[in-house]
Amino acid sequence: MALTTYLEAIRQGIWEEMEKDERVFILGEDVGVYGGAFKVTAGMLDHFGPQRVIDTPISESAIVGAAIGASYMGMRPVAEMQFIDFISCAFDQITNVAAKSRYRWGAGVPIVIRGPSGGNTHGGPFHSQNVESYFFHTPGLKIVQPSTAYDAKGLIKAAIRDDDPVLYLEHKYLYRRIKEEIPEDDYVVPIGKATVRRKGNDLGIITYGAAVYTALEAAESLTAEGVETEVLDIRTILPLDEEAVLETAKKVSKVIVLHEACLTGGAGGEIVARIAEKAFDFLDGPVMRVAAQDTPVPYSPPLEEYFLPQTDDVLQAARKLLAY
């Protein structure tokens, strides 16, 4: 079985869903003739035609608004944000129309809004953000971020089949770096279910996206110090798999929550709060957060490296917590 990249897994997932369901279509900037900024939609225009692969004007609000309208007419749109940073231009459509639709009048909005997120590619402050926290506070939305090629395909298929709006965040640093064998058979990764990437009993790191690999690298280093670290990949940011989070916290008693987004107001704070509320008696130390600095994402490679949470940052927090 050939190795499949994270990017190709996403492309395969969308392609297969379009083959299976004629209601699924793609819209976004440069998704057709150009094949997408990162080539996720390459070849789709020729195969599916211009009625199902639609190049749009540069207006994220219009893209999402059109997707919502199409979903009301029975379609299942997949809307691409060329860079996820520009999703802010569609904030009103997402939070006040799509997210509230089922609550207001019982109509689901089966749309997927997907796009490249995250840093470590030297894209600067407008092409490197992690936007999950902007939407984490909005009931009615689902937010996912895969860390593996297997999950990338399984989650995009689950998102397209979901009857409510899903924000599908693709970490662009992983696009061509992560490769693995994935099944040829149809499969989905259920939204709302975390997975343990590494088992351990001494310390837990709860994380998602590209930070999973930072956590695994730190866990490997800690093994040399006699510390067995559990790494929990939540995969779905909203709704959070609280059961899995609490299970890891109760098992290891000392927990770090790691994410690439800025520290203040990040999704990690909610995870910490739930552990404190529902697993406090099992803890042997404070739940610690490791995250990016509270600044815009720097363009300079050395500054970006300092800005992003690194393996050494995780190790420093781990040693402090283990000594508590």
Task: Name residue 205's beta-bridge partners.
Answer: 231, 256
∠ Cα 153 158 164 (to 5°): 140
> Two tokens at 20?
């299976």
Distance separating alpha carbons of residues 21 and 48, to the nearest angstrom: 12
3 state SS for 211-253: HHHHHHHHHHHHHCCCCCEEEEECCEEECCCHHHHHHHHHHHC
Would residue 259 show up in a list of annotated catalytic residues for this protein?
no
Distance separating alpha carbons of residues 296 and 48, to the nearest angstrom: 39
Q: Which of 47, 122, 127, 259 is catalytic?
A: 127
Alpha carbon distances (Å) from 320 to 132, 287, 315: 28, 11, 8
Task: Name residue 206's beta-bridge partners.
Answer: 232, 257
Helix (H) or strand (E) holding 180: strand 179-180
What letter would DSSP give residue 94?
A: I
Q: How many CB atoms lie within 10 A of CB 272?
A: 21
Q: Which residues are catalytic?
A: 127
